[in-house]
């Protein structure tokens, strides 16, 4: 009889844990495997034989806490079934100075994304501003391979971004 009680107790815990785990994975934190080289050298550096596995902060994104320099996982704006990882360079209300297009204002609800490896990245330089709604999570840490364990740095080209429309370009 005690085996049956133990089984029922375990079943209760599992029944409770499954929806909690699903909610945490969908809304708070999850993981992703990084494909490609557009974020080199920060992610998937050249010479690495293992793709980086990263931790995604979904809660900050759900709360609208975007920051310039964040590395984000987002739905590809030009390939709806694909995921891409890029750096947030500018947010709504900013202006971005580009070589090819001059100064680009970022409209409400949009952002400017770029890969760190500009020779191997399709990003806002080709696609223009992308909707913030495509962002799925913020890449915070590399957890695999273990020799690359660490925080993903938040950097952005300050010399190319004018924060907000109310400032004249220097």
Catalytic residues: 38, 86
Q: Which of 77, 131, 129, 76 is nearest to 101 (CA)?
A: 129
Alpha-carbon distances, residue 69 vs 62, 130, 138, 161 (angstroms): 18, 15, 10, 11
Contact 162, 81 (CB under 8 A): no
Alpha-carbon distances, residue 6 vs 2, 86, 141 (angstroms): 6, 48, 38
Let me know if 144 is exposed, middle or buried by CB neighbors in 10 A (0-12, 13-18, 19+): middle
Alpha-carbon distances, residue 128 vs 9, 99, 101 (angstroms): 55, 13, 10
Residue 130's beta-bridge partner residues? Answer: 111
Q: Distance between CA atoms of 140 and 54, rounded to whole angstroms?
A: 7
């Amino acid at each position: 009889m005690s085996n049956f009680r133990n089984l029922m107790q375990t079943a209760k815990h599992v029944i409770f844990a499954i929806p909690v785990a699903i909610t945490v994975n969908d809304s708070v934190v999850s993981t992703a495997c990084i494909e490609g080289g557009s974020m080199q050298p920060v992610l998937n550096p050249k010479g690495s034989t293992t793709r980086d596995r990263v931790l995604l902060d979904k809660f900050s994104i759900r709360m609208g806490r975007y920051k310039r320099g964040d590395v984000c996982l987002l739905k590809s704006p030009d390939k709806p079934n694909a995921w891409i990882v890029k750096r947030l360079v500018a947010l709504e209300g900013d202006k971005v100075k580009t070589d090819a297009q001059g100064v680009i204002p970022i409209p409400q609800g949009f952002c400017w994304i770029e890969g760190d490896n500009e020779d191997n990245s399709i990003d806002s330089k080709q696609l223009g501003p992308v909707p913030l709604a495509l962002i799925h999570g913020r890449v915070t840490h590399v957890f695999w391979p273990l020799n690359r364990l660490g925080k993903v740095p938040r950097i952005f080209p300050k010399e190319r971004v004018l924060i907000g429309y109310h400032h004249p370009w220097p």
